Structure 1
């Protein structure tokens, strides 16, 4: 009798164990076959699809690289190894991805995958993350993606996508991260973005027009550098949460809003625009900010420097129309080691107040060449090659220059 009971217990345990380790859903298995058929490993030592063996009895949920399941359904699909030395995958992204109806994350690591982004992705309302970066995807961004109500992160950067940004981006209530950098997108930025957006990167495209009149107040990271945008920097004052702002290499004009010169905004890149007026006369930051960078170079800024930026670790004001002497606070900041880079070359500055015989830290990079100083105290040793080899401006340029 005891042997019969033991046999019954073992048999029951086997049945329950088999049910708890259910095989992948047949529709998901069929979708994975189609996805694999449309992609291939670029020859290398690390082959992503080496574990995708459909002839084996093993469950893909347990043995396929990049496949994560819940209750026998695929919930996360990561295509490619993601290793720095891997060339990634080639081929196209199959519309069969949309057959994985419980998918929450779709990730395609760097490779040479071509073709369009399947519009069918817009049917996967469970999707929270779409990251298809550093490939050769073409065509427009499917408008259907902007109907995914649960989407948190959309990263399509470093591809060859073209067309305009869909105006319905603000219809994504849960979107926090939007990265579309380094594509061929054109037209103007949408007038509205989701109010909870924290990270927006559209740099390295062909966008034109002005900045939207009102950006999400929650933004902490905003990059629209290296585009064709113009107009004044309006609406920036309300972005009090910004820690990173890059609007460099555009055609922005007018003054720099004083509200942008604040300690919380530790990375400010406005170089290579048509900005004019004075460097904002804001109050100096109360404390130095390690790692902070302010780059206002290659503009048309005029007037004398205030002490507003003495706490920045790296400060670039070169190639402007600045005049007068450099405030002593800047020299003191460099000597303390607070400011490690100070580029002032190619202006009309008349003095750099450093005492004869005083030395700057070996870690400091200070360039004051090609200004209106008869004998610049620092020479050219710390200047970049782009500064040229002339220590001072010709006298006629200095005598004839007016703000």
Structure 2
């Protein structure tokens, strides 16, 4: 018996051990299989921001980016925004536990991937924002029966949505918007999805048909978006069963009839969008849906008055009724709504005044009531809560002074009040340079008065104050100003000579004022100006030849002034569509290119003008020769006689005179071209060019540190780059000089080194820059001992230097027209001021692209080894992406501490970094010892990844400088997480005046 028990125990032990032995390898084998499947996915799709971190040397694939595991098994793959192009491979469904798959925002362009039918456990599938095309398969229901979320929006699917769409018993979210479905609404099929909570069919060219009444059966819907899909007829009453709705959007259809009462009595509805339909009846006055948050019935044909019941909607934040045919007054109760932030009533036939309490009881941010028949004053408390950013009230009959609450309304961005009867002094606080956010001010055709500050805010883009009563001197314009119109006011004084701050301006109209003085010689810096009207003033003096630089100028009106002298021959360079120089005191020959019928009325009432003998269309006299041959001969004889007489006075006297003359010529031979207000002279600069002030040598000349001017008059330290004109290098140096002067003379940006002036002679050329106290980034990274640096730069300083440099390049690439390519971005050309703020420098190699987006070939390679992009060295092709590559190398230097040509066996730093990234992934060992603080390691490694992407071999795969800057700002704790506007390059870096 004992032996039997012994045998039974032994058998039990063997069987148990065998089962345990079999189960353990199975789990391990499954993990290994999934690991191998994921690596095959990586090999199939190639490198991407996420897959680049999938490392084959470790089995911990559950920690890889985009992978979710439960109990060691892969249950989720989330890889949006990876730029995948190759199709989804069938092997993905070998992950048997996969329940969630998100491949949105990629570049897939195949038909619907039916291989996903094999992913039998899928509950969540998101293929949105790709380029999938063709018709959806009729057997779409062969996808997992467990599916709860299906998102195919923003693709190119066509044809009819198959009936099988209604055969997913657990589906809660169906998003099919923004495709090209052109069949009938699949109303009956979708209505079978009893658990559906979110449904979007918007923005599809369906066959026009009445509203799908079947959707009334989807009683669990919380989100229904059906805009822009050719719905006709009225909104059916049976939708009143949708009691759970939070958002209802029927916009941009062809709906008619009344807005049904059930919408206003809907207790849970938070958002209502019905704009761009065809409603033709009054809004029901019985509004009791107190939970409504947003109402938008704009762009219809609504008639009648705005119901007073809107005042009961105490949770209302948005009220959009624009582009209808509403009449009558705006109910005063609307002004009492406590949460109202945005009210848009423009494009109706409303009359009366605005609600007197509007803005006083709510955080009102946007007011748009233009193109109505409104009158009276603006409400006194309009900006009471200091949240207002837009006031758009043009084309009404408003009158009186602006409300006092606008004095200090510093968030205002757009102020459009033109064509009203406003009067009184315009609030001075709205011109504040320090706090103002205004970018657009259009207040023309009113009766405003007041004066301007010395300088307007930097962020103004458009200012139109024409036909008012503003007086005083013209302000200095700066920053991003594109349009400045101040016609028919009482402005006086001279036109400011410092126009460099508005080199981006395209239109200036100062006509019919009281402007005097002469036209500034600096007017030529307005190289983007296409319209200039200074007529009807008291401007005197000559017309500057600098007009010849304004090559895009098409409209020029200088009539009815006191201009004298000749019309510059440089006008022959212009291609004017309209020119008026009439009623001045001009003399001499009209430029040849303007002696034709197109300009027949351009020179009237200038009796001193004349034309050549073969151009008499202007009815001007033929120009007489100023001297004939006999006169010239007699003058030459007299001159030679005088010289002979002087020579007879003795060689000593002649020698003294010649010596003095030579000194005078030497002094006058230097030509100074200023780009800013200067407090020093040519002599100040020349006297400082001696060896003790030498601080270095560039590619084409020596650099000196010179203290220019005296301290009492604002003297300053400057950097002077001296370029000698030698016979062998004359043409090349001339190009360097002209390129650097042309580009830096026009650019105004806080992260681009400021070129103060150019000084040139027949022997040498000088470029005078602002002086950067802390030298170059190269010195601080690689020559700390030589410059006596106390220690390595910390991470916040390095990050700020990277952001500053990126801003400068971003401005050059995205805000200069045409774009500017630096062509020699490197650490040595990034200079640091006393606060270690960085500026891009040394534009001797820079080149303006002839046409935005085009490549351009050059006859010779220029740049620095280690920084040059591969395509630059092989094909001599240049676009902005070569700067992105070079900047990526700079980032690598900042992060690793290595120099650009230090790649060991891998040729250069960029190739070394790419190998490290691919083979070993990210580790603290990549970082310079000075930035291995644990609080910054993660950010520094992310920037390392960005640098690797920037130095990619293919230009098309590199990001733009705007994208690079956006990423860098995410790591800057002061930049609000990198949430920025479209004009990121100069929105975050003030343009200097």
Contact 1:190 1:212 in 2 (8 A): no
Which whole-Å CA distance do the structure 1 matches of 2:318 and 2:249 have between them?
18
Cα deviation, residue 112, structure 1? 3.2
| Aligned counterpart, 1:322 | 539
Contact 1:268–1:293 under 8 Å retained in 2: yes
Match of 1:73 among 269, 274, 295: 269
Mean Cα deviation higher: 58-67 or 314-323:
58-67
State the 1:316 CA deviation: 1.2
Give the aligned partner of residue 135 of structure 1.
348
Cα shift readout 1:166-221 (whole Å, capped 9, x = no counterpart): 22223133211111111111111223422211111211110111111322612112
After TM superposition, list the pairs within 5 Å mapping 1:4-403 onto structure 2.
14=194, 20-21=220-221, 50-54=233-237, 62=248, 64-65=250-251, 72-77=268-273, 79-81=275-277, 88-193=301-406, 194-215=409-430, 217-230=436-449, 232-235=450-453, 237=455, 239-257=457-475, 259=476, 261-281=477-497, 283-285=498-500, 288-289=503-504, 292-310=506-524, 311=526, 312-330=529-547, 332-334=548-550, 337-355=551-569, 359-362=572-575, 364-374=577-587, 376-377=590-591, 378=594, 391-393=604-606
How far, CA to CA, are the matches of 2:467 and 2:426 in structure 1?
Answer: 14
Equivalent-residue separation in structure 2 for 1:19 and 1:267 (angstroms): 54
Assess if the C-alpha contact under 8 Å between 2:471 and 2:492 holds in 1: yes
Q: 1:268 Cα shift?
A: 0.8
Once the two structures are TM-superposed, the CA of residue 224 in structure 1 deviates from its matched residue by 1.4
* 1:344-391 CA distance string (max 9 Å, x none): 1222211354329x73444553322222124654469667xxx97871
Q: Which moved more, 1:213-222 or 1:313-322?
A: 213-222
The structure showing larger relative contact order (alpha-carbon pairs under 8 Å, at least 6 residues apart) is 1
User: 1 CA distance for matches of 2:393 and 2:573?
Assistant: 42
2: CA distance, partners of 1:145 / 1:184 = 18
TM-score, structure 1 normalization = 0.73
Cα separation, partners in 2 of 1:272 and 1:206, compared to 1, 3 Å: same
Contact 1:288/1:313, CA 8 A, preserved across alignment: no
For residues 376 and 311 of structure 2, what CA distance do their matches in structure 1 show? 23
Cα contact 1:78–1:109 (8 A) shared by 2: no
**Count of aligned positions:** 349
Q: Report deviation, 1:53.
A: 4.1
Cα 1:125/1:325, change in 2 over 3 Å: same
Other structure's SS at 1:252 match = strand
Larger Rg: 2
Q: Report the structure, 1 or 2, having the larger helix content.
A: 2
For structure 1, the residue ranges without an aligned partner over 5 or more in a row are 1-8, 25-46, 396-403
Deviations along 1:288-333, whole A, 9 cap, x unmatched?
A: 42x6211101112112100344313321111212111111111x12
Name which of structure 1's ranges 196-205 and 96-105 shifts more when overlaid on structure 2. Answer: 96-105
Residues in 2 aligned to 1:206 and 1:223: alpha-carbon distance in whole angstroms: 14
Alignment CA distance shift 1:304-1:333 (3 Å): same
Q: Residues 562 and 585 of structure 2 are in contact (CA less than 8 Å); yes or no, is this contact kept in structure 1? A: yes
Distance 2:583 2:596 in 1: 10
2:251–2:273 contact (8 Å) kept in structure 1: no
